[in-house]
Amino acid sequence: MSPDDITGGRGRRHYTRGVGRWEPGAGDRLREAALTLYLERGFEQTMVADIADRAGVTARTFFRYFADKREVLFDRSAELERSALAALEAAPATASTLEAVAAALSAAADLIGQDRELARKRQAVIMSTADLRERELIKLADLSAALAEGLRRRGVPAAEAALATEAGSAVYRVAFQRWVDTEDGTLDLHEAIRQSFAQLHTLTTPH
Amino acid sequence: MSPDDITGGRGRRHYTRGVGRWEPGAGDRLREAALTLYLERGFEQTMVADIADRAGVTARTFFRYFADKREVLFDRSAELERSALAALEAAPATASTLEAVAAALSAAADLIGQDRELARKRQAVIMSTADLRERELIKLADLSAALAEGLRRRGVPAAEAALATEAGSAVYRVAFQRWVDTEDGTLDLHEAIRQSFAQLHTLTTPH
User: With an 8 Å Cβ cutoff, is A200 touching chain B?
Assistant: yes
Among B77, B151, B147, smallest CA distance to B112 is for: B77
Asked if A97 reaches chain B (Cβ–Cβ under 8 Å), the answer is yes
- Is this structure's pTM higher than 0.80? yes
The reported pLDDT for the residue numbered A22 is: 61
pLDDT at B166 over 60: yes
**pLDDT value of position A161:** 97
**Residue from B144, B174, B178 to probe the interface with A (highest A Cβ count within 10 Å):** B174
Residue in chain B closest to A174 (alpha carbons) equals B163
Q: What is the mean pLDDT of residues B41-60?
A: 96
Residue A193: what are its φ and ψ, rounded to 5°? Answer: -65, -45
User: Is any Cβ of chain A less than 8 angstroms from the Cβ of B203?
Assistant: yes
Q: pLDDT by residue (tens digit) across A54-96?
A: 999 999 999 999 999 999 999 999 999 999 999 999 999 999 9
CB-nearest partner of A170 from B130, B170, B205: B170
pLDDT in tens, B73-102: 999 999 999 999 999 999 999 999 999 999
Residue numbers of A between 168 and 187 with CB closer than 8 Å to B: 169-171, 173-174, 177-178
CA-nearest residue to A162 within chain B is: B174
Positions of chain A with pLDDT under 70: 1-23, 207
Measure Cα distances from B172 to B108, B167, B169 in Å.
Answer: 9, 9, 5
Angstroms from B21 CA to nearest CA on chain A:
37
A137 contacts B137? CB cut-off 8 A: yes
Cα–Cα distance measured from residue A169 to residue B145, given in angstroms and rounded to the nearest whole number: 15
Look at the domain A3-72 and name its fold. Tetracycline Repressor; domain 2 (1.10.357)
Does pLDDT of B9 surpass 80?
no
Q: Give A70→chain B minimum CA distance, Å.
A: 16
* B6 Cβ under 8 Å from any chain A Cβ: no
Residues of B in contact with A141 (CB under 8 A): 133, 137
Whether chain B has a CB inside 8 Å of the CB on A201: the answer is yes
d(CA B143, CA B146): 5
| Inter-chain touch A167–B204, beta carbons under 8 Å | yes
ipTM value, please give it: 0.80
Chain A residues with beta carbon closer than 8 angstroms to that of B137: 134, 137-138, 141
Instruction: Report whether pLDDT(B154) > 80.
Output: yes
Contacts of A206 in chain B (CB under 8 A): 201
Average pLDDT over every residue of B69-76: 93
**Interchain contact, B133 vs A138, CB within 8 Å:** yes
Is the Cα torsion angle B159, A138, B126, B173 positive or negative in sign?
A: negative
pLDDT value, residue B90: 97
pLDDT per residue over B119-149, tens digit each?
A: 999 999 999 998 899 899 999 999 999 999 9
Which residues have C-beta within 8 Å of that of residue B4, sequence separation ≥ 6?
none
- Is B16 a residue whose pLDDT tops 50? no
Q: Which phi-psi region, left, alpha or beta, contains residue A88 (left: φ > 0; alpha: ψ -120 to 50)?
A: alpha
Strand, coil or helix: what is A186?
coil
- Residues A181, A116 contacting (CB under 8 angstroms): no
User: The domain B76-204 belongs to what CATH superfamily?
Assistant: Tetracycline Repressor, domain 2 (1.10.357.10)
Q: Measured between beta carbons, which residues in chain A are less than 8 angstroms from residue B127? A: none
Domain regions of chain B by residue span: 3-72, 76-204
Between chains, do B167 and A200 touch, taking CB under 8 Å as contact?
yes
Q: Do domains A3-72 and A76-204 have the same CATH topology?
A: yes
For residues B206 and A22, the model is more confident at B206
